[in-house]
Amino acid sequence: MALIEQLEKSHKEALDGLKKAQNEDQVEEIRIKYLGRKGVVTSALRQIKDLSSDQKKAVGQKANQIRNQLEEQIKQTKSDISSLKIEEKLKETTFDYSLPGKMPPLGNKHLISQIIEEVVEILVGLGYQVAEGPEIELDYYNFTALNTPPGHPARSLQDTLYLKDIKDSKKPKEEVLLRTHTSPIQIRYMEKHNPPLYIIAPGKAYRRDIADPSHTPMFHQIEGLAVDEKLSFGDLKGTLEVFVKRLFGEERAIRLRPHFFPFTEPSAEVDVSCSLCLGKGCRLCGGNGWLEILGCGMVDPNVLEEVGVDSEKYRGFAFGMGIERIAVLKHGLDDIRRLYDNDIRFLEQF
Ligand code: DAH
């Protein structure tokens, strides 16, 4: 058989084979059989050199054409097979890749953390700096230095959780306790820093309280302390007024009632006008019109002297508020224990 007919026959066979091929291995087999080093087309091409020169040209052209067409068809068949494979895979799985994704549940900050951040942001905006102190505290900082010496009647109100004495304490029989308020941070800060100073101190406090709707043995407070040369009770009131309006809304007012705290003189409790009746008295505030939110006063000179601040030259004011109490007032919580139940259905509402 003439070489050219042989080539055409092989070409046809190869094309038929490719049509029937089911997978990439079969295509590869065909490629080797016809175009491989010892393949039918390849060896035909090799024989061209023995032909007469006028045949050489015609056969050569035809052979090259056939080789190119075959190469092209092999490439095409391979890619058809692989896209078929992908389609089959997609059919096999029941997952619909075009569906919108599922959002994983996102956490949010605990309400207590949110309120602390809000209060801190307002007061930092008024020029205060954040200070911290230990939750395990010495009796000295929690009581004595705050003008509440042993035997002082104000101690029993806050009787707390006492820990073992520490032997290497500077003061030989120093009691160690869980702090009952954030006020000891006032002392710790003034020991290390000279006035003028403007600080706020958020943190946990502990008392020997049985948990009920308005008490938990652990709770949160934010302390404020300002010490400067010319501070007056008016500065304290103005500061609290701005603070309360920013926290609760411009329409709210404050009211100061005389009170007693050992470390301030004079002292006051601060009320905010009820969100519903704005002070007239309604069901929400129990007819009172006002809701208590914090304690405050002018720093007692004894406290300043205790940390070596000249009480003739400097005056201070201080305030302390409960974070849980603010949560109750802002969100109408009926029971602060819910803040610590860790029930996501409750916590994710805020
Ligand atoms: N430490 C007080 C308490 O826990 C709150 C308080 C009242 C803090 C008056 C102050 C203040 O700084 O001046 O009940």
pLDDT at residue 223, as a whole number: 98
pLDDT one-digit tens code per residue, 152-170: 888 877 678 888 765 555 5
- Residues near ligand 1 with C-beta < 6 Å? 181, 183, 223, 261, 264, 267, 295-297, 318-320
180, 181, 300: residue to mutate for ligand 1 pocket, most atoms within 8 A of CB: 181
Which is the closest atom of ligand 1 to the Cα of 221?
Answer: 4
Query: Quick one: fold of 111-347?
Result: BirA Bifunctional Protein; domain 2 (3.30.930)
- The residues pairing with 223 across neighbouring beta strands, listed in sequence order, are 201, 320
Q: What is the mean pLDDT of residues 46-52?
A: 84
pLDDT at residue 341, as a whole number: 94
Among candidates 306, 312, 297, 316, which has minimal Cα distance to 195?
316
Amino acid at 102: K
Per the CB < 8 A criterion, the answer to whether 226 and 259 are in contact is: no
pLDDT at residue 50, as a whole number: 85
pLDDT at residue 216, as a whole number: 94
What residue's CA is closest to ligand 1, atom 4? 181
pLDDT at residue 154, as a whole number: 82
pLDDT at residue 113, as a whole number: 98
Helix axes 233-248, 323-331, angle to 10 degrees: 50
Name the pairing type of β-strands 176-178 and 264-273.
Answer: unpaired
What residue's CA is closest to ligand 1, atom 12? 319
pLDDT at residue 190, as a whole number: 98
Integer Cα distance of 166 and 259 in angstroms: 35
- The residues pairing with 320 across neighbouring beta strands, listed in sequence order, are 223, 295
Which of 25-34, 124-133, 270-279, 285-294 is modeled with the greatest confidence? 124-133
pLDDT one-digit tens code per residue, 287-342: 889 999 999 999 999 999 999 999 999 999 999 999 999 999 899 888 999 999 99
pLDDT at residue 3, as a whole number: 81
pLDDT one-digit tens code per residue, 228-282: 999 999 999 999 999 999 999 999 999 999 999 999 999 999 999 988 888 898 8
Q: Which residues, 6 or more positions from 300, have their beta carbon under 8 angstroms from its beta carbon? A: 147, 262, 263, 264, 265
152, 239, 319, 325: residue to mutate for ligand 1 pocket, most atoms within 8 A of CB: 319
Which is the closest atom of ligand 1 to the Cα of 225?
Answer: 12
Amino acid at 238: G
pLDDT-based confidence at residue 44 (cuts at 50, 70, 90): confident
Going from the Cα of 98 to the center of ligand 1, the distance in angstroms, rounded, reads 60
Share of the chain above pLDDT 70, in %: 97
Instruction: Give the domain ranges of the chain.
Output: 2-92, 111-347
* Whether residue 171 has pLDDT greater than 80: no
* Whether residue 174 has pLDDT greater than 80: no
Neighbour tally for 296: CB within 10 Å: 24
Going from the Cα of 6 to the center of ligand 1, the distance in angstroms, rounded, reads 107
Going from the Cα of 207 to the center of ligand 1, the distance in angstroms, rounded, reads 14
pLDDT at residue 166, as a whole number: 57
Neighbour tally for 144: CB within 10 Å: 19
Integer Cα distance of 262 and 156 in angstroms: 13
Going from the Cα of 62 to the center of ligand 1, the distance in angstroms, rounded, reads 103
Single pTM value for the model? 0.71
Weakest mean pLDDT among 35-44, 135-144, 257-266:
35-44
pLDDT at residue 173, as a whole number: 62
pLDDT at residue 168, as a whole number: 55
Going from the Cα of 101 to the center of ligand 1, the distance in angstroms, rounded, reads 51
Going from the Cα of 307 to the center of ligand 1, the distance in angstroms, rounded, reads 18
Going from the Cα of 270 to the center of ligand 1, the distance in angstroms, rounded, reads 11
Per the CB < 8 A criterion, the answer to whether 295 and 262 are in contact is: no
pLDDT one-digit tens code per residue, 9-23: 889 998 998 898 888
Going from the Cα of 168 to the center of ligand 1, the distance in angstroms, rounded, reads 30
Three-state secondary-structure class, residue 157: helix
Which is the closest atom of ligand 1 to the Cα of 263?
Answer: 13
Rounded to the nearest integer, the mean pLDDT of the chain is 91
